[in-house]
Chains A and B, each alone.
Chain A
Amino acid sequence: MLLASATTLPLLLATAGCRSSDAFTGPDPLAGRPPLGHDVLTLQAVIRAEENLIYLYRTAIHGDSGTTARSRTLRPLLAQHEQHLAQLRARLIQPGGNPATPATPSASAASTAPAHVSTARLRAAERASAAGLVRRLAAVEPALAQLFASIAASDVTHVTALGG
């Protein structure tokens, strides 16, 4: 049995007619940005959805200058969504070289949010968030699935708190 060493390997390659650079051919897997995994892509999408929901709540509260009763209901729900976002972001570990998830709502959310956000719209957004999380939790790793399920359960309680 030959023992590979710093002296024997070059001799072996030379004997076989190979250059050392030929031993490792093909594209360099470390040359470009590594592709993002499924869980990362899913988490990014969930973070964007949570950011959009927070934007809706902030818009609703800002527009309620004369409706303090509704604002008293909305503020604790907004605070819980901010906790959701913090936990989701804490789970996001991206490979180096990939752009981080932007902290501000997406341009599409900002351009489509009206000056007044109805309670019905907030309920619909909460329902959609819960449904989206349940749909996504099937294919992510267990701990992330549990976080999604917990946030979805929170969203559903918000629907009831909003009179749904």
Chain B
Amino acid sequence: MAAITVAGVFGAVSALQAALAAENAAIFGYGVAGAHLTGSRWAAAQQDWTGHNQARDTLAAMISKLGAAPVPAQAFYQLPFRVHDAASAMALAAYLEDGATRAYLGLVAVSDQRLRRFGALAMQGAAQRAASWRGSTQAFPGLSGP
């Protein structure tokens, strides 16, 4: 695999940082959503929250390997709407996964082929979780923003 150019590293780091920011937001948001879910829905939220933690660690390691400092998580994230019951909690989970899908789409545009593939596969996971929480699929995950 050819080495990444300096310009390529900057582009890759920027895209990775955006994906990391989305994962940090998802970790925070799932904590809020999970408090309003029970049974299998709570278990699914727990599983997804764990997955986002793992993804955060993976992205942080990739960014560090490229010589940059991973962006830290914020102490608080402004939610897009009030979460007060199971329906709004599931809507928040779908919203968070849509955000992750859009962030990983940014990785698909970098020049490094391995990162493009990584981003595309991560998009698939986020899009699947979003469809599961939303109850419907989309034609263009990541491209149809709020």
Query: Which of B121, B127, B143 contacts A147, CB < 8 Å?
Result: B143
Chain B residues touching A, majority SS: helix
For the complex, is B141 an interface residue (Cβ under 8 Å from A)?
Answer: yes
With contact pairs A137-B116, A137-B120 given, residues A154 and B139 touching in the complex (Cβ less than 8 Å): yes
What does DSSP make chain A's interface, helix, strand, loop or mixed? helix
Which residues of A lie under 8 Å from residue B117 when comparing CB positions?
134, 137-138
Whether, in the assembled complex, A119 has its beta carbon less than 8 Å from a beta carbon of chain B, the answer is no
Asked whether A90 is an interface residue with its Cβ less than 8 Å from the other chain, the reply is: no
Contacts of B24 in A (CB 8 A): none
Number of residues of chain B lying within 8 A (CB) of chain A? 26
Instruction: Convert B99-132 into 0s and 1s, putting 1 for each residue whose CB lies closer than 8 angstroms to a CB of A.
Output: 0010001001110010011011101101110011
Does A87 lie within 8 Å of B124, measured CB to CB? no
Query: Would you call A128 an interface residue if the criterion is a C-beta within 8 Å of the partner chain's C-beta atoms?
Result: no
Q: In the complex the two chains form, is A150's CB within 8 Å of B109's CB?
A: no
- Complex Cα gap A156–B142 (Å): 14
Interface residues of A (CB under 8 A from B): 76-77, 79-80, 83-84, 87, 130, 133-134, 137-139, 142-143, 145-154, 156-158, 160-161
